[in-house]
Amino acid sequence: QAKLKSFAAKIIQLLKEWTETFPYDFQDEKSMKELKEIAHRITQCDEVGEASQMTQNLLMALSTRSQYQEIREKFRQPVSDKGTILKTKPQSTQKDILSVCCDPLILAQQLTYIELERVSNIYPEDLMQIVSHMDSLDNHKCRGDVTKTYNLEAYDNWFNCLSMLVATEICRIVKKKQRTRMVEFFIDVARECFNIGNFNSMMAIISGMNLSPVARLKKTWSKVKTAKFDVLEHHMDPSSNFCNYRTALQGAAQRSQTANSNREKIVIPVFNLFIKDIYFLHKIHTNRLPNGQINFKKFWEISRQIHDFLTWKQVECPFEKDKKIQSYLLTAPIYSEEALFIASFESEGPENHMEKDSWKTLR
């Protein structure tokens, strides 16, 4: 009893930290039973009742997160019916993003609002799933108990939807002058996202404009003032492991540390690259050193990256929500890749044999 009393407070402190940071570790019956048994044993030394409070908080956290997974968003299915595209495309009365919001700064702010909302639903255990999933693959085990990384998939899906929305908005415009205006508008939106520190939306917009159905519109691009776009592409240049982007991210992170307002604290990294960094950190470095000791340097580095992300996700969005704009961004119809090519060829006809064959097949 005396021994138990001497370290009961430390045990509670450790378990409290563990259950708050990684609640999913206790979602299966076995680990929850073990936790309750330990909590019960130290209850007699726990005068404040911290152990039972800790268990209650854990159950509440698990309940909240399972509810979020149940309310899975029904993601937009791309429009793929060729007839629909061919019939609806010429209607100039069709609603587009410019009819909802024509100010690039406001649209960038609303995109940032959505990003911060999505990021707030990503927890440390979601990020550590990458590591545990890799370990289970390496050990040829089927980890049926591991929670599926729904939150990561949902965020990745948002990136893809935004890219496809940008491409759809550009390709479905019939008149070249209006199409040029739309391309320049999205370039301005991406630039405002960069200034805010929202690199994920910026990358999604650039990816959308670099999709083949958009990139092939040479007559449109010839009218676009591309100087701004070149600057953006320079920031997202993949050479030297995205060196330019990493420099910009570092600058935004430093600004965030010394910032007085939430507006200057915003840092939203390119999420795919962030995940890849954790993946490679884990893959390249061994868990143990040649002498058998734990490779603490590796785990400190993974921990540091996750800690940075958690700091950035806690920033309160300084922009007011505009329901009309957000509704459009999240629900406006997006074309499938095939549908984008149809719309693109209708805007600017095929120029070479390969494109002519593609157009023939599509029709």
Region of 260 on the Ramachandran plot (φ > 0 left; ψ -120 to 50 alpha; else beta): alpha
Q: Residue 79 in 3-state DSSP? A: strand
Region of 242 on the Ramachandran plot (φ > 0 left; ψ -120 to 50 alpha; else beta): left
Q: What is the pTM of this model?
A: 0.81
Q: Specify the residue for token string 């073990």.
A: 34
Q: Residue 148 — pLDDT band, cuts 50, 70, 90? A: low
- The sign one gets for the Cα dihedral 15, 18, 23, 24 is negative
Q: For the segment 234-287, what is each residue's pLDDT rounded down to a tens digit?
A: 999 999 889 999 999 999 999 999 998 989 999 999 999 998 898 888 889 998
Q: Which amino acid is at 188?
A: D
Q: Give which of 214, 312, 306 is closest to 257, Cα–Cα.
A: 312
The answer, yes or no, to whether residue 361 has pLDDT greater than 90, is no
Residue ranges covered by each domain of the chain: 1-75, 85-362
Average pLDDT for 313-337: 92
Region of 292 on the Ramachandran plot (φ > 0 left; ψ -120 to 50 alpha; else beta): left
Q: CATH number of the domain at 85-362, please?
A: 1.10.840.10
Rg (C-alpha) for the chain, rounded Å, is 25
* φ and ψ at residue 318, rounded to 5 degrees: -85, -5
